[in-house]
A and B are shown apart, each in its own frame.
Chain A
Amino acid sequence: MKLKMITLLWLNKPFFWMLLLFMSYTSVQAQVVKGTVSADGQPLPGAAIIIKGSSKGTVTDFDGFYTIEAGANDVLMFSYVGYASKEVVVGTQTEIDVTLEADNSLDEVVVIGYGTQRKSDLTGSVSSVSSEDVNVNPVSRVDQALQGRAAGVQVTQTSGAPGAASVIRVRGGNSITGSNEPLWVIDGIVVGTNFNLNNINSNDIKSIEILKDASSIAIYGSRGANGVILVTTKTGTGAHLGKPEVSANVYTSMQMVPELPKMLSQEEQIAFTNESADFRGAAIPFPGDPSDYPNNDWFDLLLGPAPIFNADVSVVGSGENVSYYTSLNYFNQEGIVKTSGIEKYIFRSNIDVRLSDKVKTGFRVNYSYIDQKNGLVGYGNAIASLPTQPIYNDDGTYNGFDEVTGSPWSNPIANMNLNTNETFRNNLLGSFYIDYSPSSKWIIRSTFSPDFDNSKQNRFTSSQSPNLLYLGEGGNASVRTVLTKGWNNENTVQYQSDINENHKITALAGASFQKVTTEIVESEAFGITNDATGFNNLENADPNRNIITSDYSGFQIASFFGRLNYSYKDRYLLTLVGRTDGSSVFADDNKYEFYPSVAAAWKVSEEPFMKNQETFNELKLRASYGKSGNQAIDPYRTKGLLVEANTTINGIQQTGLTLGRPSNPNLTWETTTSLDIALEASLFKGRIFTEFNYYYKKTNDLLLDVTIPKQTGFTSQLQNVGALENKGWELSLNTNNISTANFNWSTTLMLSSNKNKILDLGGVDYIDVVVDEILGSGNTRLIVGESVPVFTGVKYLGTWKSQDEIDASGLRDPQVVGGPKFHDENGDGIISNDDAVVLGSPLPDIIFGFENKFSYKNFDFSFYFQGTKGNEVYNLRMRNHYFTRGEFTKFEDIANRWTPTNQGSDILRAGSDSVTGIPPNSEYVEDGSHIRLKNVRLAFNMPVEKMGMPGIKNASIYLTGTNLLLWSDFRLIDPEGSRFGRNGLGNIAQGYNDGSYPNPRTLTLGLNVTF
């Protein structure tokens, strides 16, 4: 019946129904429970007693005595600062006395690769993020929730667009050619570095663990070098027996346009454009009065407030042999840049079945359907369109011609109204397991996890697009489908034994196999002269103009691994891990590699000499050292390749092929060796918990596209040549500042610093990275001794103040008074890439997250700051919007440029770029340090009982704000963003900003109800 209801709702979007439907549940009869809470043989006054999952509670009196009304199925939670909380099921008891043990905040259980471990027994570096942190502020993607939450983990949103991914760097980037993204493992399924996190409902997540050091990642061998993120979803294990618990969470948000970059006004822009044309001797584009021309505010035309609606329903429960968690999520977000948006349906079911005392089985299934609107206009359109550009012609048709450039113009308003660009995605991620436990010492587990991902992108550009009409081109359309199929099989055997009181061991051995294939088909048609069928009938186009492509790629990985944990007297811990990985992407002689690691920990606080002190509850020192890898190459990269080189003979296209890249069977894995030293301490009865890590990582055999002499017919060859290092520290600090029955205040601070340095580039001093063909080379370099990468360019010195100054400079390039003055670093009289100096790096010195949480009676309040310091941003808009022609809009600073009446200005005169070329220069690089008030949250936990709401266990209303304040000096306002994304060029080219889709300011109102 329940399933049927969900199906019904699935078909009909309005999820409010769910709330109504589940309202009918009634609660179990309440009874009075009383007792005392004590510790160390003394009664504890002021200890809190709360009914789990509700806001009902009480505190003990001076004698440690309490009374509370609770149902038989309720669980009472007893807590007191400095002591471990305790949970007791009420059942038929009417008197419950509880003794609390001194708190051991290190003793939560954390998920590690292929298992779990008590935090106090960890020998490696693992950051945990709880579901509370993930969901404290609603996020549509789990990566967004990680920002600033884990020390040593830098999360950068590529843009504010709905569904946009984040760039994640765990303790810096280890690779130059390969991906630097961490490996994602969802419920034990290795889904790779590129999994679309839109497929996962963040409300389903129970915990996230980030594995950072060699010891914890070595179990993932060649795939773990960039860190591993383990996502564990909720299950029914531990849920109440009997009646299921139903939770609903509904929220709605309003996203608002944040602060916008400041550009010249229409009048100032006209003056600039005219001045620039006049200087070049070209005709004046705007000879009339400014009021004769349009004054369009393109930001206003293309951006606007946009809503989000989200509804979640989950059912959790357990019977004698079965426990389950099932959820359904509907999410719909429109973007603040018009025509962008995402709509998602996500279904999850996690079921565990106990077949016998020895055998357990179950599955995890996640299905998602995503409908993404890719946007028909960009934020760039809003920045770059001249206010004078008309939207419509005098006759009311769309304008499609830019009079200033004299070329066809792609009209964003027309594009919004006429075109289509959408992507549909289906993803099924499942995992089936069987556990066999012949005795309490052995667990044998085998899992099989299929992953299907299928997407289709439809794109249509109308034949009525005014620029196409001008060109007489006709419309065009394309469809693209991508089908990815993968499976993952993991088999492990675990042995656990306490040899005697002093010696304990846990051993794990396993084998893992994975295969993933991707197939792509794309068809593109041109010369479509009518809009009757859009992208659905590509043959309705010029039969001679189409592009058809298809592609196939796949890889396999086979791995064998083992881990041994040994502890002596529960004080001295040792972990040995080894993994051998075999990968299909390397040639026969290089397919396998072995990754060992060793880690040790010393629980100082367990030593007899520490027994008499009060300061430390826990004190642990640990260190790890080991090797991990990165399979940084795409499939088939060891092989040579012929690429398409078609051309015409007698006007007819002929198929041609030419050698596209040289083979290199010698390619092998990039290997990262890392050392981690850490100290964990819990002080003052758990009021302060702190962890400090220092690490050093060195990556050898970097895969680099090495420049080879062009006389070979090739420009570069992928080789294993370079080396780089990352070193840094991480500090996390959690404090319970105030903790009373009615008022709590806690603070969390995450601080980390990573220094990245290139040690070797295969013998060359530097490599130019071409991030943009038009920008050319010389702006981005990999330089030995610097970080990956650095921004380079010529120093901009201001303007030439007189002809004498120019003559004295010895520059041979043409210069003009009022024109740009660049520093001739090498003194050869020519401004060229040879004069480029290092101007900055996209890598921050410090990243931080800082959160304060308060609770007072039924109210919770928290705020959370996050930011970076010491990073630079490369402003890709500077060339066009500061230095060059009048056909581009200009930043507002340009109003104060050099003119014959303002000769003191150091901003170049209009048009002077036509005399002096504009090389990449120091003005392009800006400070990217920023502080963001990421979240503010206010929640009211309704006293449902007092309010007389039978059947409701818990209800809360919350109001949150995201991205409310931003402190930054960046011209394009928000320095966060990544023009080149997280892959390919984005592996290293971070910090490039061309005014990415802005991060909206969001206000959310939500309701959480549990029945």
Chain B
Amino acid sequence: MAWVGLIVLFLAGCGTGFTASVKPKEASSSITPPPEDTQGGGGIIGGNGKTGGANPYACAAGSDPGTRDLRRLSRREYLLTLQSLTNGYADLSQIADQVNLLPADTVSNVFDSTDASVSIGHIEAYLGIAREISAQLIAKPEWIRSVVNCEYASGMTDTCWSNFFNGFAARVYRKPLSSQEQADLKALFATEVSYGVPAGLQAVTMALLQSPNFLYKVEVAGSPLNGREDILKMNDYETASRLAFLATGRGPDAILMEEARNGRLATPEGLKTAVQRLFSSAEARENVEEFYMQWLGAKRLPSSTHSDWFLAGVSRGAIAPESLQELRDLTSDLTWTKAGGYKDLLVSETSFVKGQALGTIYNGQASLPSGQRPGVLSRTAFLLSATNQTSLVHRGLLVRRNLLCDKIIFPTITDENRELFQPPKPNPLASLREQIETRTAVPQCMACHSKLNPMGFVLENYDALGRYQTEEKVFDANGNILARHSINARVRPNIESEDEPEVDGLAQMSEAIAASSKGPACAAQQWFTFVEGREPRTSDSCSLSTLFDSLMDKERVSPSGDAPGTLLNMMKASAFESNFRVRKVGPQN
């Protein structure tokens, strides 16, 4: 084992201008794994010592799965589920003020879904949105008719209630309602029915939409596995819920609820049918697209503050939308059309340039020049910086954190060691590579920057917009050229080992990442994190091992029937791996 997965970083003192922006969010109220159950990539990838493309996860037969905590729906899941439940009868865009009050999920490293915190802002937004959505719904008699499916003018009959509870309410709760839950909702209805049935249903709907059964992924109804009370085999409704969020990023639709009710999800064939149906939907494509955007850091593309002379005719307002569209098109093509694998993601030179801005950035070429645009790392959506200067260290950070799953944390700065982190002043006319090397030359900085910098240096063949360059120009504020430097993109990448041979440029580095164990292992881990809403632990190694094999093993028969060793196969594999239907309850004290 030669690589180190934990990088301690102090960019501020090393003068590269990042400071808090790279500080990872500490485990919030969310996860505090036991010490023996390491959280995060560095401690898990390479657990069995394998490198060079072999499966690096140590999966011990018969070991317990990782614990699953009670998690709220992410902001995105919540809104998508609401949209799905209201089925066009309510319009979230009409209540933008209430929706805006719902706090954004604080970004923790890569994926929004890992934020499990709840604040008063959430509670008030849940209430406000429930109030407004239910008002929209009851204003439409056709919605009421669709959910009660009875004659309700003179009151809610048993039939009306039964239809409502078994249909709409069960979809909101993602399970059948208990008799107590039904009685409580009827009692609430009674307090408002003097204003009419719609008013009563509004109160009931408001309560449903604030319930823990809606807001949280509740998985407590399973049966003990092998007599273990702390390991539960989830029931069919819980399975349906997990499956729906996995594939579509929202709660189950009516068809899936019906399949759960009929027990079809309990059979391998039924599960396979459901997986294929869900992954064939537009919602699944949207969900997978979201995964790529967050994984590759494109979700937070900077606004352009480049100088006009630097843009040189590139339409400022078109850069972000066109580059995001290209990344969507490329990942979609590889995932859904070409049955692409992990390596394709890193080396594909397929072009999806559709607009003037990106066309200009890519030098107007319809087909990309060989070697200049290998894979996602070479595209503007990954490379774009806010200012005229390339965000060299940030690029390196993205590669190490998002593509290789290294953990980036701050060292402890004290009065005693503060001086050690003071960087020397670089020559402003030197190349950016030289400047960064100067600013990070002290040993305390190099502890991290020896990993980050090479990834950034390799990408110096692309300027702040992502234009390919063989020469770096140093400008003054008015665009006058003060100095020129040939790009030196030769580095020792240190992906899995410090002894790796040098690479020269992105194409060679992408090949090296694709040939490593660490790159695809990280891809598996990022998919796991996206769908689980938490970073994996060592106890998740078996799940990760399955994902790795489904992504990389071209010979392994796929339970979904998809081509083995592909991106889509890995995504679907989550639903078939042995721990998918199992919930391990975390420590109780």
A and B bind: no
